[in-house]
């Protein structure tokens, strides 16, 4: 048992690792154009910029995917602040690129994102609020 406890593969992942994995999954879903996968960790009571709710966020993601054949998402350094065992704040810069299958992206912008996460009753982390602003 001691050997198993020392091996990282035998331990359950920490909350911070789970949050980082969730963020990586969202990024991957954006790039593969999976709206449902992008929205899966977004809570039903989500609130974003200017009061944006979950439905409006889904419409925004869908519209961007319809307008652009390719979407790139690169997350910069991630800061995770655990408030308690059920709440966390995750802050990171996000570079989004978009285009229509050309060699270089036709649009790019970097955003600073501050997101609030909450662990649900099933133990899954859900985004319940987020604010994003362009980095100049």
**pLDDT tens per residue, the chain (136 residues)?**
333 333 444 444 799 999 999 999 999 999 999 999 999 999 999 999 999 999 999 999 999 999 888 899 999 999 999 999 999 999 999 999 988 766 666 788 999 999 999 999 999 999 999 999 999 8
Beta bridge partners of 111: 94, 134
Give the whole-angstrom CA distance, residue 77 versus residue 62.
26
Q: What is the CATH number of domain 42-134?
A: 3.10.450.50
Contact 46, 53 (CB under 8 A): yes
What residue ranges do the domains of the chain occupy? 42-134
Please tell me the predicted confidence (pLDDT) of residue 100. 78
Residue 95's Cβ-count burial label (10 Å; 0-12, 13-18, 19+) is middle
Please tell me the predicted confidence (pLDDT) of residue 6. 35
Q: What residues contact 70, with CB distance under 8 A and at least 6 apart?
A: 97, 98, 99, 100, 101, 105
């Amino acid at each position: 048992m001691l050997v198993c406890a020392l091996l990282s593969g035998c331990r359950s992942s920490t909350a911070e690792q789970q949050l980082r994995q969730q963020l990586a999954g969202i990024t991957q879903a954006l790039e593969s154009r999976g709206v449902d996968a992008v929205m899966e960790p977004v809570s039903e009571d989500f609130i974003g910029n200017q009061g944006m709710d979950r439905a409006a966020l889904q419409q925004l993601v869908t519209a961007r995917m319809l307008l652009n054949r390719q979407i790139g998402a690169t997350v910069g350094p991630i800061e995770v602040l655990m408030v308690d065992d059920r709440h966390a704040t995750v802050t990171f810069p996000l570079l989004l690129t978009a285009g229509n299958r050309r060699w270089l992206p036709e649009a790019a912008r970097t955003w600073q994102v501050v997101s609030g996460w909450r662990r649900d009753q099933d133990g899954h982390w859900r985004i319940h609020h987020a604010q994003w602003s362009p980095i100049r």
